[in-house]
């Protein structure tokens, strides 16, 4: 029995080593490819069946070594160290702004958020809703939203220096969504002058939002802080009041990063 057990252990180790070797070979091929590569091409290259290749690719993507090109099944290499650094930065932002979001909620009685730019999309890092309302906002942490149709997204468009507005796809979500580039650019000028942005049922009917830019102690633009709630509660004057409240709070709680 002992001999059989040891034999099975050795067989298992050999199998794992083979899987690791194949995984590394696939990773090297993805890394060495200047363009994206498909799973079928990898299967042919290494004579690996589709199900095995699918598991290898899924593992590489899950561990941050590879990614699918947007809306395709083409695979590209991703810098895992850069990914880890990005995740660490996002974690620091969440940790250092939780008390700020709590204060924003406490003073506005509306769900508070922080979001950043992530490949020309709005990435929701955190939200606080301590209300006892029956209808609460869905958990949006980790989700992406469009920049042009949200208050926080428009703040990011207005204050970021590395986004080309003319290349954005201005999808229409409601009758109020801005889908014209010139109109959106004019809106950016207004946001810079006012210091805040409003979403007037532009992304979802029945919801309004307001957001302000958020900077670090060094003056680096980080992202947007905002609140959202039912349009019936958040009329124009109330949105302006909340914008002032959030601006005052963000000025007192600048990020140390």
CB count, 10 Å around CB of 65? 19
- Is the pTM for the entire model greater than 0.75? no
**What is the residue-averaged pLDDT of the chain?**
88
Share of the chain above pLDDT 90, in %: 55
pLDDT-based confidence at 98, cuts 50/70/90?
Answer: very high
Edge to edge, the sheet with strand 111-117 lists: 144-145, 122-128, 111-117, 221-230, 207-215, 197-200
Share of the chain above pLDDT 70, in %: 92
Assess contact for 224 and 156: CB atoms under 8 A: yes
Concatenating the DSSP letter of every residue in 87-133 gives HHHHHHHHHHHHHHHHHHHHHH-SEEEEEEESSSSEEEEEEE-----
For 59-65, what is the mean pLDDT?
82
CB count, 10 Å around CB of 40? 11
Assess contact for 225 and 114: CB atoms under 8 A: yes
* Tens digits of residue pLDDT in 192-228: 999 999 999 999 999 999 999 999 999 999 999 999 9
pLDDT-based confidence at 106, cuts 50/70/90?
Answer: very high
pLDDT-based confidence at 2, cuts 50/70/90?
Answer: very low
With vertex at residue 207, the alpha carbon angle to CA 223 and CA 135, rounded to the nearest 5 degrees, is: 105
Weakest mean pLDDT among 15-29, 98-112, 197-211, 223-237: 15-29
């Amino acid at each position: 029995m002992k001999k059989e057990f040891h034999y099975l252990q050795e067989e298992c180790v050999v199998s794992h080593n083979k899987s690791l070797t194949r995984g590394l070979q696939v990773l090297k091929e993805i890394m060495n490819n200047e363009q994206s590569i498909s799973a079928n091409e990898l299967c042919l290259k290494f004579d690996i069946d589709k199900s095995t290749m699918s598991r290898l690719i899924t593992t590489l993507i899950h561990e941050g070594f590879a990614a699918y090109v947007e809306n395709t099944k083409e695979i590209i290499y991703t810098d895992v160290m850069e990914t880890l650094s990005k995740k660490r930065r996002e974690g620091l932002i969440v940790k250092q702004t939780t008390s700020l979001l709590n204060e924003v909620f406490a003073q506005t009685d509306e769900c508070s958020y922080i979001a950043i730019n992530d490949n020309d999309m709005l990435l929701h890092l955190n939200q606080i809703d301590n209300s006892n309302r029956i209808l609460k906002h869905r958990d949006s942490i980790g989700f992406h939203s469009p920049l042009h149709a949200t208050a926080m997204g428009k703040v990011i468009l207005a204050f970021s220096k590395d986004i080309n507005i003319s290349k954005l796809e201005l999808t229409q979500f409601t009758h109020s969504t801005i889908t014209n580039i010139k109109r959106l650019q004019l809106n950016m000028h207004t946001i810079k002058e006012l210091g805040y942005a409003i979403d007037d049922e532009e992304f979802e009917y029945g919801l309004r939002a307001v957001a302000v830019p958020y900077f670090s102690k060094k003056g680096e633009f980080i992202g947007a802080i905002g609140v959202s709630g039912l349009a019936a509660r958040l009329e124009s004057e109330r949105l302006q009041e909340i914008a002032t409240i959030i601006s005052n709070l963000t000025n007192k709680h600048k990020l140390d990063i």
